[in-house]
């Protein structure tokens, strides 16, 4: 009898706790970003990805790493070897040990990867009020809704609605689970200048950096899709030939 009452009480508690748990993780569904690489035949917009690289380097790299991307990979975005070398040289890379057994800093090379802005997780949390800025190398693959979520998150900051209290150090973002995020809004109109003359609105920068991060997470996407199309065409042709041979072989057989 006691076990039955305990089980009933537990079930009742879970029943009332479930709506609260769902409410804590509520968020708006991100709208379609409608970017060039989305869709079966989508490809990366190289100028947009280059602008996104600029947004990452000037804004996102202050807190977020990109440890799985090497500088030499940027050639796939249309950058020349000289441009890649110049970008790499702007970073200081930990190397060593030297002849004295000491680690040292040196300018980056094309073969190096983007360094983390913090030496370790504790340092990252200490600099961000306890929040840990995640690495962005595969972020568009690691989040539900992918690129749509990244772009929506960057443009989803707004004042909280009446009656909603935001915790200290948090910011209201309707696309973040729970709608409160530690990262502040970082994109503002005309905060930078793009070399190609495109106006750097917040919406434009959000789209461009999302394109860049999608490329960083899946640089082989275009080749994979091209191979998929070729395989489908091959199978269609093979299927047609197989059907034609079958008709030829059985042509003299009465049905």
Torsion sign, CA atoms 190, 192, 198, 203? negative
Residue matched to tokens 């890649």: 84
Question: pLDDT tens digits for 189-214?
Answer: 999 999 999 999 999 999 999 999 99
Please state, in angstroms and rounded to a whole number, the distance separating the CA atoms of residues 171 and 178: 11
> If you average pLDDT over every residue of the chain, what do you get?
90
- Least confident span in 12-21, 105-114, 232-241: 12-21
Q: Which residues contact 187 (CB under 8 A, 6 or more apart)?
A: 55, 59, 154, 155, 202, 205, 206
| pLDDT tens digits, 105-124 | 999 999 999 999 999 999 99
Chain segment 66-94, per-residue pLDDT in tens: 999 999 999 999 999 999 999 999 999 99
Q: What is the pLDDT of residue 40?
A: 87
pLDDT on residue 255: 67
CA distance 242 to 255: 20
CA distance 243 to 250: 11
211, 36 Cβ separation under 8 angstroms: yes
Token couple for 174: 């309707």
State the pTM of this model. 0.84
Tokens of 158: 């707004």
**pLDDT given at position 25:** 67
Domain ranges, ordered by start, for the chain: 23-69+114-218, 222-249
Helices 202-217 & 46-58 angle (0-180, nearest 10): 100
pLDDT above 50 (res 28): yes
The whole-angstrom separation of Cα 68 and Cα 138 is 8
Nearest 5°: phi and psi at 93?
-110, 130
% of the chain at pLDDT higher than 70: 90
Q: Is the pLDDT of residue 49 over 50?
A: yes
pLDDT band of residue 15 (cuts 50, 70, 90) is very low
| Cis before 130 (ω within 30) | no
* Distance (Å, whole) CA 182 – CA 131: 7
Secondary structure class of 147 (helix, strand, coil): helix
Domain spanning 23-69+114-218, CATH class = mainly alpha
pLDDT value at position 178?
A: 94
User: Which backbone phi and psi does 72 adopt, to 5 degrees?
Assistant: -65, -25
């Amino acid at each position: 009898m006691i076990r039955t009452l305990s089980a009933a009480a537990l079930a009742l508690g879970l029943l009332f706790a479930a709506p609260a748990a769902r409410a804590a993780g509520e968020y708006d569904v991100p709208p379609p970003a409608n970017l060039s690489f989305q869709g079966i035949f989508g490809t990366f917009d190289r100028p947009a990805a280059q602008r996104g690289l600029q947004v990452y380097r000037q804004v996102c790299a202050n807190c977020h790493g990109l440890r799985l991307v090497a500088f030499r990979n940027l050639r796939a975005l249309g950058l020349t070897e000289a441009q890649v070398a110049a970008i790499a040289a702007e970073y200081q890379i930990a190397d060593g040990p030297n002849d004295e057994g000491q680690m040292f800093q040196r300018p980056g090379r094309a073969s190096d990867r983007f360094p983390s802005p913090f030496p370790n997780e504790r340092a990252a949390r200490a600099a961000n009020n306890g929040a840990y800025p995640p690495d962005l190398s595969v972020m568009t693959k690691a989040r539900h809704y992918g690129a749509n979520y990244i772009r929506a998150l960057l443009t989803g900051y707004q004042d909280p609605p009446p009656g909603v209290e935001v915790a200290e150090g948090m910011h209201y973002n309707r696309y973040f689970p729970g709608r409160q995020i530690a990262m502040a809004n970082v994109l503002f109109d005309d905060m930078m200048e793009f070399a190609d003359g495109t106006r750097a609105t917040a919406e434009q920068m959000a789209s461009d950096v999302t394109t860049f991060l999608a490329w960083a997470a899946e640089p082989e996407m275009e080749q994979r899709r091209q191979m998929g199309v070729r395989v489908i065409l091959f199978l269609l042709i093979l299927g047609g030939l197989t059907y034609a041979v079958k008709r030829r072989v059985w042509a003299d057989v009465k049905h």
